[in-house]
Amino acid sequence: MRNFKFQIPNSKFNEGFTLAELLVAMSIFVIIVTVASGIFIRSMQDENRLTAIMGTQSSLNSALEQMAREIRGGYLFNDLTPGSPDCGTTGASFGSLNGYSSMTFVGPNGTTTYSLSGGRIERNGDFLTSQDVSVQNLCFVINQIGSPYPAVHPADSCNPWRVSIFLNAEPVASNLSVQPFYLQTTVSSRVLPKDMSAETKASYDIQNGSKVYESCK
């Protein structure tokens, strides 16, 4: 029986790729990898940016919530710490405000002080915001305040205290293109000047040399 060999005339199966074909294929491959890498890197950057934004919002909201809860049960806001408003200088981002960069008051858990320390909101030495958040400005505007600030807030000292909190912050990570957060909230105290004990009123009024709260009935 004769052996037949199947052959395809002019077959190029045994021939290799030309240099031009290899260069074209490599160029297409490099372009695809570059585009895919760019999409992946942008996706990772967007994910990191979103994570930073959510973390910053969570930290700031938690701090504001705790401050609001204590302010509602507080009284004598900055009456215990005489001083001049300083937010017009340290809080330039908010414009000219008659506010304070720190605030001391009598709260549900005793005397409480809020301030800004190293880019973090501090409460009696403990930090309320995480180390991943940088707070540039913190300002407290007290709409009712007694002596010794009658020229700053010429209001009836028997009115309820109302505190407005202004702050702006951003994530600590410097490689993220995230716009700073500007937050503002206003909290009214549920404690009226007339609700303070007679001893507290008298002690404060004697300390400041004038009857500011004793007349509140």
Q: Is the pLDDT of residue 91 over 50?
A: no
The Cα 159–Cα 195 span in angstroms is 11
Asked whether the beta carbons of 91 and 116 are under 8 A apart, the reply is: no
What confidence tens digit (pLDDT) does each residue in 170-188 have?
A: 888 766 677 788 888 899 9
What pLDDT sits at residue 98?
Answer: 74
Q: Which of 68-72, 94-98, 124-128, 152-156 has the lowest mean pLDDT?
A: 152-156
The Cα 58–Cα 131 span in angstroms is 13
Q: Is the pLDDT of residue 153 over 50?
A: no
As a whole number, mean pLDDT of residues 8-14 equals 54
What confidence tens digit (pLDDT) does each residue in 60-90 have?
A: 999 999 999 999 999 888 877 767 777 754 4
As a whole number, mean pLDDT of residues 5-30 equals 69
What pLDDT sits at residue 122?
Answer: 95
The Cα 33–Cα 75 span in angstroms is 63
Domain limits, the chain = 36-208
Q: Which residues contact 105 (CB under 8 A, 6 or more apart)?
A: 71, 74, 75, 76, 77, 78, 79, 80, 111, 112
